[in-house]
Amino acid sequence: METVIIIFLITRFFFLAGFPYFYDGPEYLRLSQEKNLTLALSKSHQSLHPIYILFTQLAQKLFKFINFTDSVTPVTFVSALFGTLAIICFYFLVKRLFGKKTAFLSLIPLTFFPHLWLIQTNIMHESMDHFLLLVSLLFFDIFLTNKKTISVLVSFLFLILSFINFSGNLIWTPIFFGLYIFRKYKK
């Protein structure tokens, strides 16, 4: 797994976009530079991505604190960071469901899938959406096997955060029912 994660990191962090190429990138870059989150959200279009905007603002402040003058890299860094965390969550979820070998092999296409590469190296909110949903799904699976309340609470928290960040994530809720059914009948 470590080798794939290193390859993943190289393909993401060394190829961060130097310009907001896609969709709403210029707007997110501008919002990341606002000093006030509330003001940034009031200037954003629907649907709002408040968690993504918050993290891009925090990244701008962190990079400014370390005297980094480029304003695009902190925002693309957020996408790459959450893309990496999403892949790690995906690995552990697949490992829990199907074993270590399948989990490892499942990372290989994800590392080189063009769509994921684009959203994880550019100014786009989707990598954070993936992360929030995958963490929620991972903790839901943990709850299904250990029945501890804390696991379902963490799962619910990340699911709510994913809905807050992008209401379109509601479309993925059937996956939770599918996971429940899969765990119930898995031999």
Write the pLDDT tens digit of every residue in 77-125.
999 999 999 999 999 999 999 999 999 999 988 888 888 988 999 999 9
pLDDT value at residue 70:
85
> Would you tell me how many other CB atoms lie within 10 Å of the CB of residue 147?
9
Torsion of CA 42, 47, 50, 52, to 10 degrees: -130
Give the CA count within 13 Å in the CB-facing half-sphere of 142: 18
- Report the alpha-carbon angle 32-89-54, nearest 5: 15
- Give every CB contact of residue 79 below 8 A, 6+ residues apart in sequence: 119, 120, 121, 122, 123, 124, 127, 128
Tokens 């997110």, located at residue: 28
Tokens 């993504």, located at residue: 52
pLDDT value at residue 187:
66
DSSP string, 8-20: HHHHHHTT--SS-
pLDDT value at residue 59:
95
Distance in angstroms (rounded) separating the CA atoms of residues 23 and 85: 23
Question: Which residues does the chain have with pLDDT short of 70?
Answer: 1, 187
| 175: amino acid identity, one letter | I
pLDDT value at residue 20:
83
Distance from the Cα of residue 75 to its chain's centroid? 13
Closest CA relative to residue 162, chosen from 56, 42, 82: 82
Query: What tokens appear for 90 in the block?
Result: 């995906």
Distance in angstroms (rounded) separating the CA atoms of residues 9 and 23: 24
pLDDT value at residue 71:
86
What is the pTM (predicted TM-score) of this model? Answer: 0.91
